[in-house]
Structure 1
Amino acid sequence: MAPPTSGHVRGALATATTAFVALVGGWIWAAMQQPDGYDAVRESISALAASETPHRWIMTAALVVTGVAHVGSALLLPGLRRAGRAVLTAAGVATVLVALVPLPSRAEGSAVHTVVAALSFVLLAAWPWFGADERATPLLRPAVARPASIVLLLLVASLPLGVGSGLPFGAHERVVAGLLAAWPLATAAVAWWAMGHRIGDRRVRRVVTVALLTVACAAGGVAATRLAPATAETTHYSAQVQLSMDPRDSTRLVARTLFGDIDVGFTGLAPGIEATPQVKASIADLLSRPQITVSSLQPGPLELNAAIVRAARDVGIRFALGALAVAALWVLLRAIVRRRRPGAWAWAGATTAWVVACGATGLGMWQTYQPERQHEFTSTGVLGTVQRNQSLLSDVEARTAQVSPYLRNLIALSSALQDKYSPTELAQPTALRVLLVSDLHAGNQYALMRTIVEEEDIDLVVDTGDLVNFGTVAEGNASGMFAGIASVPVPYVFVRGNHDATSATDRAVLDRMAAIPNVVLLQPDDETYTVVEAGGIRIAGFNDPRWFGDDGKRSKDKQQPAKRAFVSAFEEQDPLDLLVSHEPWAVQDVPRADVAVNGHMHTPDLEGNRIQAGTFTGGGPLTHFVGSEDGEELIGQPSAFDVLSFGETCRLTSVTRYRFRNVIEGRPAYDDVSLVNGSRIDTVTEDGRTCEKPEPGAGVLDALTLTEVPAKPPAAE
């Protein structure tokens, strides 16, 4: 191997710096350009380059530049073995391919994109192992490079594991991606140093080192508050509090709510504070009381002050720990590179940087965030417009009734187009038409539902759960949900969602639903399932075992006992035409079910024989509104519902999917209507079986045949 040259190392340092700056700068800049609603903590880097993402060119270009720069580093790094050059080159090419095969949208996945992205991560973690050489510069020696490669590979492996454990994927991925991009830069920088390059004398270098380490400690402290936000709580509210890494948020306190943002500006020098307020379930009891006032919902001065003190303390602790971790990491890496124990200067420099970062940040925040230093107060979204339109949220049901004519026209147009252009096999006589809804979240839009039932000739409504937000009957009463369900003129089939109970044993919402004449509970209690037969179509399902307030982790695992119990109870029953539960993991791979439906994700989806319903109310009144870029336009999550048609052969013949928005605001906007051939979903054929449209009886449930199936212990695994 030829000895490394100065020209090589300078070029490698330039390309490695370019790769790191392009990647990190790209995702920061691209995120800044996104409309409200993008969450960098939870959404992936790839989402910024997705085909339907605004300003996607920024992240796409950043990925291309990063990949090309990695190839340059592979060619120029001094002392790197050929195998290491090949692996790093392949990593660069894979990074470019990540940009060339983007995700369809922020909400949709792509198997090809996932494979390419995973490959690029693995290659970026593996190249130090293959490039290690005893004769190379310090970070390329086997004693350093191979342990580093193992650590990087473990970090890459932690990404899919983190998804299952509930870690915020966006922040997790950015930490891993940043470290993968930083290692070639660190390798080139150490090589540059080892080859005798210097900046100034020792005193200047130490001052610069401490200054840079101080900045790094401050960044680490801010990052720690974002990875583990502090929580401030009052009786009826809680808020996650974290520091902002966006320089534009400096000296600003921003409370981001789904109704808009409150932005308070201060005079001083300090990182910005972000707070995400949330309503506690206890407020549902207050809302159900007559003559409720705003003042009765407000926390008192002492309560608010105590919450602020606790939040400030917790944020400070997280900041200090994050800064300390960065300082300790610097000492450790310095010792590894120099191959000796840290000296007094290393400890003194790290301690100084940590103390200055914590002290300067704490002092700046204490001086800045004082009431007398406030100079600006603005609000956006609903919070900014409610003063001009006090009646906007006064009556959700009345608002939806106003837009029913719009929906009637939309359905009529859709039906006419389907009659003209749908495939012949979809035109067979219909035995049953099912309206599939989910995730109403206390949004009383039953005026719309009645219109849909009438215009689409619906025989049956299937609701996959999350009727309310906080799992209480009081919330359902306050929002008129139960009266709205009773007004629907067809049977209403229901399974409980994870927001429809306050504990694993809470049955209050189920009991209240059971008292409504047109409601059928598919799992009325832990000991019984109900099979609904309508026109010969067999429907059954089971409740979500989760509840509002559980830890929100390992959702997939929590569904398995309920799924096994259901499968065990139905193993000797006739196959089902329609299986219903709330979460996607509950209905996946359930045997003897032709079609499965679920909700929970607030996004319509189709996967094999599984139909995922969107949210009928755009997430409900409490989650419906976000502010647009100019803070004036109200934009809701898309509302969605599906109409399932079963033919006389008892098979699903078609699924019609509707999406629209801005219903509550009174300005409905059409998104799309799509028609899906049911044979793509229901692939099971049963020769000789026929179904026919149910004849209405005197009572709303008279057209149904209801059969109880007792639960039994699940089969052994």
Structure 2
Amino acid sequence: MLVVTAVGVMIGTLLAARGTGDVGPLQVAFQLSPSMDGGTEVAVPPLGSLYLDSHEGPARLTVRLESLDQRRTEALINDPSGLTRAGDTAPQDIRDALVRLGLRTLGVSVLASMLLAALTFRSVRRVAWSGGLALLVTGGTLGTAALTVRPQALAEPRYEGLLVNAPALIGDAQRIADDYTRYAEQLQRLVGNVGKLYATVSSLPIYEAAPDTTRVLHVSDLHLNPAAWPVIKTLVEQYDIDFVIDTGDITDWGSEPESSYVSMIGQLKVPYVYVRGNHDSPRTAAAVASQPNAIVLDDSVAVVRGVTIAGVGDPRFTPDKQESEAGPWEEPAMTVEGAGERLATTIRSLDVSVDVALVHDPASAAPLNGVAPLVLAGHTHRREVTVLPSAGEVATRLAVQGSTGGAGLRGLEGEEPMPLALSVFYLGPDHRLQAYDDIRVGGTGRAQVSLDRTVVDDTPPVQAPVPSAPTVTPVGR
């Protein structure tokens, strides 16, 4: 009886413990899930989340800001008192949505338990007992959460992702907890500021990603900046990234102590494709390769999530030109341009077309013109996207990434800190580039975030065949 009731409650929770509601101009999704610790998560995609120790378990509340209603937003903007009214009604909107969610969860859980008991026991008495137990368990769970609510938890939020400056978004949390009458005013600021955020995002060029779109996050030149990893992790989660591409210079000196920096790669939970930069040593590449989700390319090809990627490392290692482990520093046998020529030769020798080619220095990209439709690079710390002069059947677009690490300590040498630069590429079913988002996060001491979207409308519709299974093929090694 207990097992049947527990399964019925779980089924009812999965079916009914989620819903949406309108809070001002925003559509907000609410979800209840089992949890021993309780608490509330407020997700603001793509900025991150804040966590509140709002109540005891065994139920956890997740609140996610889903979308912005354009009609209601325009009404707020046109009406000077609109934001005030939205702030006044927001607490009641949230309360009503949670009450509806709780009642629906309770009703469906009891009904699911009774139906399951009827199918299992075919006894009216046991069906009644199962319904009563489900009512007791679900009602007790929701009641425990309601009775242990702590309004003072608003004063102690925990932030993750890009919400490092969250008080600027929601106001002074301590004042919210100390004076509940000001809560509506602070919530008004939340509604207004998030409304402005979504209104800005809605003005981006229209691009509707298809279900089979591949999302790729391009990073480069992290230069040991620890602030880069939380930003990367947030974007991987919020954008539902399929895999990450790193075009080198993940370290500064390529030394043994720096190898621990790359251990964060394993926490991303998606494939991480990497080519060595001129600041990365063979030891750095080996440390990256030791991560369970990493793929290191050096004149080799890999198929990741169906996308064929070729890459070559920078032939130089320039941090210490006086002495290295192998002895006095010497000029590399291969030039930067030669590395691109070698990779182009490798690609031409394959039986399949390459979707993306990776180099560190954009000077290596010229030989790849007409060989791959998209070439990614870094090194210059300046974001730039260009279409190379036509050279063959394949039109090649070169995307040079800025520094995802804000150039490391070098980023502090100028008058203003260098921002952290990342890009999200949207590849269509044929693995050709359809659109990309350029994201810039303010450097050290700054909190600005900007996003620019570009829709690509000149990609030639050429289907690129790919191998059926993921492989990594070393060439010339």
Query: Structure 2-normalised TM-score?
Result: 0.52
Q: Does 1:463 align with 2:246?
A: yes
CA distance in 1, matches of 2:461, 2:438: 24
Amino acid at match of 2:339: A
Deviations 1:180-205 (A, max 9, x none): xxxxxxxxxxxxxxxxxxxxxxxxxx
User: How far apart in 2 are the matches of 1:415 and 1:654?
Assistant: 19
2:343 equivalent in structure 1? 566
- Contact 1:446-1:488 at 8 Å conserved across structures: no
Quick one: percent identity of the two aligned structures?
25
Contact 1:532/1:707 (CA < 8 Å) preserved in 2?
yes
Q: Shift of residue 414 of structure 1?
A: 6.9
**1:711/1:486 CA distance change after superposition, 3 Å:** same
Structure 1 match to 2:380: 601
Contact 1:652 1:679 in 2 (8 A): no
CA distance in 2, matches of 1:411, 1:533: 36
Change (3 A) 1:418 1:688: farther
Query: In the alignment, what sits opposite 1:542?
Result: 312
Pairwise CA distance, 1:475: 2.3
CA distance in 1, matches of 2:447, 2:216: 24
Q: Distance in 1 between matches of 2:198 and 2:263?
A: 30
1:492 maps to a residue whose letter is Y
Counterpart Cα distance in 2 of 1:562 and 1:457:
33
Shift of 1:553: 12
Q: Does 1:686 align with 2:462?
A: yes
Contact 2:354 2:464 in 1 (8 A): no
CA contact (8 A) 2:161 2:233 kept: no
User: CA 1:411–1:617 in 2, change beyond 3 Å: closer, same or farther?
Assistant: farther
Select the residue among 630, 653, 664 that pairs with 2:434. Answer: 653
**Aligned-pair CA distance for 1:416:** 6.8
Q: Does 1:489 align with 2:269?
A: yes
- Return the match for 2:163 from 405, 425, 445: 405
Which secondary structure state, in structure 2, belongs to the residue aligned with residue 642 of structure 1? strand
Residues in 2 aligned to 1:627 and 1:418: alpha-carbon distance in whole angstroms: 30
In the TM superposition, what is the alpha-carbon distance from 1:456 to its structure 2 partner?
1.0
Residue 62 of structure 2: aligned partner: none
Q: Is structure 2 residue 470 aligned with structure 1 residue 705?
A: yes
1:515-530 to 2 correspondence within 5 Å? 515-523=290-298, 529-530=300-301
Aligned partners of 1:429 and 1:647 also within 8 Å: no
- Mapping for residues 17-56 of structure 1, pairs under 5 Å: none
Taking a change above 3 Å as real, the CA distance of residues 423 and 637 of structure 1, as seen in their structure-2 partners, is same
Structure 2 residue aligned with 1:641, among 417, 422, 431? Answer: 422
Q: What is the identity, as a one-letter code, of the residue corresponding to 2:218?
A: L
Shift of 1:404: 2.5
Instruction: Give RMSD over aligned pairs.
Output: 3.6
Greater relative contact order structure (CA < 8 Å, 6+ sep): 2
* 1:477-501 superposed Cα distances (whole Å, 9 cap, x missing partner): 3xxx222222112111100000002
| Cα 1:522/1:462, change in 2 over 3 Å | same
- Residue type of the alignment partner of 2:437: T
Q: Which amino acid aligns with 2:304?
A: E
Report the residue type matching 2:424 in the other structure: V
Among candidates 589, 592, 610, match of residue 398 of structure 2: 610
Q: Which residue of 2 aligns with 1:619?
A: 407
In 1, Cα distance between the equivalents of 2:361 and 2:464?
A: 33
Amino acid across the alignment from 1:623: R
Conserved in 2, the CA contact under 8 Å of 1:542 and 1:562? yes
Distance verdict in 2 for CA 1:414–1:539, change over 3 Å: farther
8 Å contact 1:431–1:645 — kept in the other structure? Answer: yes
Kindly report which structure 2 residues correspond to 1:145-160, keeping only aligned pairs within 5 A, or say none.
none
Q: Give 1:603's aligned amino acid.
A: R
From 432, 436, 454, the equivalent of 2:214 is 432
2: CA distance between counterparts of 1:405 and 1:560?
Answer: 41
Alignment partners' CA distance in 2, 1:448 and 1:704: 31
1:498 matched to 2:278:
yes
Structure 1 residue 562: Cα displacement: 1.7
Residue 355 of structure 2 aligns to a residue whose secondary structure is strand
- Letter matched to residue 613 of structure 1: Q
State the Cα distance separating 1:679 from its structure 2 match.
3.3
Aligned pairs for 1:106-505 (under 5 A) are 404-405=162-163, 417-418=200-201, 421-423=204-206, 427-444=209-226, 445-477=228-260, 481-501=261-281
Q: Count residues with an aligned counterpart.
A: 276
Aligned AA for 1:563?
G
Q: CA separation of 1:416/1:466 partners in 2, compared to 1, >3 Å: closer, same or farther?
A: farther
For 1:487, the aligned partner's letter is Q
SS at match of 1:576: coil
Give the secondary structure class of the aligned counterpart of 1:487: helix
Question: Aligned with 1:679: secondary structure?
Answer: coil
Q: Does the C-alpha gap of structure 1 residues 581 and 433 become closer, same or farther in structure 2, counting only changes over 3 Å? A: same
> Once the two structures are superposed, what CA deviation does each residue of 1:632-672 show, in whole Å capped at 9, x if it has no partner?
xxx3112110000111232111110011213x43x4123x3
Label 1:416 to 1:455 Cα distance change in 2 as closer, same or farther (>3 A): farther
Checking the alignment, whether the CA contact within 8 Å between 1:473 and 1:512 is kept in structure 2 is no
Rounded Cα–Cα distance in structure 1 between residues aligned with 2:249 and 2:198: 29
Distance 1:541 1:412 in 2: 42
How far does the alpha carbon of each residue in 1:56-87 deviate from its partner, in whole angstroms, 9 at most, with x for none? xxxxxxxxxxxxxxxxxxxxxxxxxxxxxxxx
State the AA in 1 paired with 2:358. Answer: V
2:448 maps to which residue? Answer: 669
Q: Is the 8 A contact 2:205 2:454 kept in 1?
A: no
In structure 1, C-alpha distance between the alignment counterparts of 2:456 and 2:213, rounded to whole Å = 14
**Contact 1:595–1:610 at 8 Å: present in 2 too?**
yes
Code of the residue aligned with 1:685 in structure 2: it is P
Q: 1:494 to 1:661 in 2, by over 3 A?
A: same
Partners of 2:236 and 2:419 in 1: how far apart?
20
Q: Is structure 2 residue 361 aligned with structure 1 residue 583? A: yes
Q: 1:471 to 1:415 in 2, by over 3 A?
A: farther
Equivalent residue for 1:510, pick from 285, 298, 309 = 285
SS in structure 2 at match of 1:567: helix
Q: Which has the higher helix share?
A: 1
Contact 2:355–2:464 at 8 Å: present in 1 too?
Answer: no
1:380 match: none
The alpha-carbon distance between structure 1 residues 414 and 688, as it changes in their structure 2 partners (threshold 3 A), is farther
How many Å separate the matches in 2 of 1:414 and 1:530?
Answer: 40
SS in 2 for 1:614: coil
Shift of 1:564: 2.2
Summarize the Cα distance change of 1:675–1:413 in structure 2 as closer, same or farther, 3 Å threshold: farther
CA distance in 2, matches of 1:645, 1:498: 28
Deviation string for 1:135-160 (max 9, x for gaps)? xxxxxxxxxxxxxxxxxxxxxxxxxx
SS of residue matched to 2:235: helix
The C-alpha deviation readout for 1:151-175, integer Å capped at 9, x for no partner, is: xxxxxxxxxxxxxxxxxxxxxxxxx
Cα distance change, pair 610–469 in 1 and its aligned pair in 2 (3 A): same
3-state DSSP of counterpart to 1:611 = strand
Bigger share in strand? 2
Return the offset for 1:418: 4.9
CA deviations over 1:526-564 (Å, ceiling 9, x no partner): xx6132231x32111110001123599999x82122222
Aligned twin of 1:60: none
C-alpha spacing 1:646/1:499, structure 2 compared with 1 (3 Å): same
Structure 2 vs 1, CA of residues 429 and 420 (structure 1 numbering), >3 Å: closer, same or farther? farther
Q: Distance in 1 between matches of 2:427 and 2:243?
A: 12
